Structure 1
């Protein structure tokens, strides 16, 4: 039967697609911009409606909230067009760190000029001044007007000021920046996996070689789980410590970076081979 040709040695020393010169892999190319969490994050930072990744609820889009109603009539002083312009400018930034830098330029901590209680009984040494940029000038507004125009909470502003401290530099958002290095296999552990995958008895396609000449296949009966079992035995034979053996999930992710199929394509047999197989099966079934 003219099936996939096999050999005791690996036909290609390194069957990763980048090494073979082909952009082909079982693993899909990641597009982080289309990940659900990144889509939700981008929409949230732009003030648009998004789906919360923690609760699954639809979070409403940002909007200018009600006027402050203070004696200064901040909304009337600015005008509806200016209010909308300020709101749009802030949410069009679309990036958390840049928005923090914006808030830092609009909110200033100033020393209290006039105290209403005795100095020794006052716990407040500074007050916050909120400004918005209209045309060529900065206009001072009350706290409620500032928060309602931008549709943000008091904590958002206070966190920026607290993390800035005396440095004068806007803080950088470090959430999710640790990179999950605590689960990342060490280089020597990864090399063990690469060495084992390269040692597998791979075979090339008989008839599909012209279409994908660098693609190799596992022998019949082999699966990724079976390969991992062989990897565990392979590590035991090399006296590799148990903590140096990567788990199946890490091995599977590494396996998919190689241009290896689980089984040769069905077109890898000809009509003559198929006929002989049928006749052989029929002969063995006869009493």
Structure 2
């Protein structure tokens, strides 16, 4: 087999110890080392019956070689800038130059295949992409969004109608637009509430209009907007119109201020309480303990594409394992609450990344 051509039918023999083999017949005298993600390996015709056999490489479209030549023209410490996708090989992986050379550019020169790590098929949750969180983010930014509960389209926020007291003329239309954009650009519900509360001030009533000893309205509120570090008093309607909020919002802010013992803003507590249906504590610990007691092993043939997946020796199915879990609970934790089969399945397959399929090891 020629040393200048990487045959697709060749197999990768798993390294029992680090080994390096160079080939100086590459492009312009480059010295190429055979590296892989798991270390330095050699290519050989392995017998499929050999327990160290690994299936053949069939896709080398995203593979690169590591140049060991210290006098390489590309030895500028940064490698080849043309390699932007995948994992860039570096000098720390065994070469002096670290020049990443694509296999397709070497005219069939053999060398190391450097591949990125593959995490398996279990998808990690992305909470930012959840529809409820997307709607919340757009709502806090004042943008149009679709309600998660009603499924209706809610229009974007906009500046309200001018009041009859001339507050818009006092502040100026350009300043009003800047205040509106700056307020909704914050994008944080608690920060926006803190700003609005800082612009609302309490003042005692100057003239008492009742003969009662205590008035039902001992204070009144003054609303302000700030432009270039200067505050302008506006009416309540003008205040809501400039910020694109409702009268109900202002009313709730005033109620929160009254309930705060020291006048500090009260953060939003929606969504901060733990779920009442969440399974935690001993119930969850018992599931993990039972699964760890099962004969679980890693498959030699799946390490390259699913290194984190484990398999149940002898095979089986979730229903059988769940039945053994119920018996195990009655023997060891009699009287304690058990989890459902669906929850047991999710822990086994998604959290711990186990499979019930029988596999050769």
Detail structure 1 runs of 4+ shifted over 6 Å in the superposition. none
- Where 1:130 maps in the other structure, the secondary structure is strand
Q: Compute the displacement of 1:238 (Å).
A: 2.5
* 1:279 counterpart residue number: none
Instruction: Find 2:212's aligned residue among 120, 134, 146.
Output: 120
- Aligned equivalents of 2:181 and 2:278: distance in 1? 41
- Where 2:220 maps in the other structure, the secondary structure is strand
- Worse-superposed segment, 251-260 or 119-128: 119-128
* 2:331 counterpart residue number: 237
Q: CA 1:94–1:66 in structure 2 vs 1: closer, same or farther (change >3 Å)?
A: same
* 1:111 counterpart residue number: 204
Instruction: Find 1:138's aligned residue among 231, 253, 257.
Output: 231
> TM-score of the superposition, structure 2-length normalised?
0.61
- Where 2:233 maps in the other structure, the secondary structure is strand
Please say if residues 109 and 126 of structure 1, whose CA atoms lie closer than 8 Å, have aligned partners that are also in contact: yes
Instruction: Find 2:155's aligned residue among 52, 56, 60.
Output: 60
Of structures 1 and 2, the one with the larger relative CO (CA 8 A, separation 6+) is 1
Please say if residues 24 and 259 of structure 1, whose CA atoms lie closer than 8 Å, have aligned partners that are also in contact: no
> TM-score of the superposition, structure 1-length normalised?
0.75
Q: CA 1:264–1:26 in structure 2 vs 1: closer, same or farther (change >3 Å)?
A: farther
- Aligned equivalents of 1:44 and 1:109: distance in 2? 29
Segments of structure 2 that go 5 or more residues without pairing to the other structure are 1-47, 52-116
After superposition, what is the alpha-carbon deviation per residue over 1:127-175, rounded to whole angstroms, capped at 9, x for unaligned? 1100000123100001101111111122212222222234121111011
* 2:182 counterpart residue number: 89
After superposition, what is the alpha-carbon deviation per residue over 1:54-95, rounded to whole angstroms, capped at 9, x for unaligned? 10001000000111122xx11111111011111111111111
After superposition, what is the alpha-carbon deviation per residue over 1:188-244, rounded to whole angstroms, capped at 9, x for unaligned? 32222112112223354353345545532235762334322221122123352242x
Q: CA 1:221–1:48 in structure 2 vs 1: closer, same or farther (change >3 Å)?
A: same
* 1:250 counterpart residue number: 343
- Aligned equivalents of 2:221 and 2:192: distance in 1? 18
- Aligned equivalents of 2:336 and 2:310: distance in 1? 30
Return the structure number with greater helix share.
1
* 1:179 counterpart residue number: 274
- Where 1:207 maps in the other structure, the secondary structure is helix
Please say if residues 43 and 50 of structure 1, whose CA atoms lie closer than 8 Å, have aligned partners that are also in contact: yes
* 1:98 counterpart residue number: 191
- Where 2:301 maps in the other structure, the secondary structure is coil
Segments of structure 1 that go 5 or more residues without pairing to the other structure are 6-21, 270-287
After superposition, what is the alpha-carbon deviation per residue over 1:5-46, rounded to whole angstroms, capped at 9, x for unaligned? 9xxxxxxxxxxxxxxxx9846643222222211111111011
Please say if residues 106 and 132 of structure 1, whose CA atoms lie closer than 8 Å, have aligned partners that are also in contact: yes
- Worse-superposed segment, 22-31 or 95-104: 22-31
Please list, as runs of the form range in 1=range in 2, the aligned pairs for 1:203-242 lying within 5 A after superposition: 203-205=297-299, 207-212=301-306, 215-218=309-312, 222-242=316-336
- Aligned equivalents of 2:266 and 2:274: distance in 1? 19
Tell me how large the CA RMSD over aligned residues is: 2.8
- Aligned equivalents of 2:283 and 2:121: distance in 1? 22
- Where 1:128 maps in the other structure, the secondary structure is strand
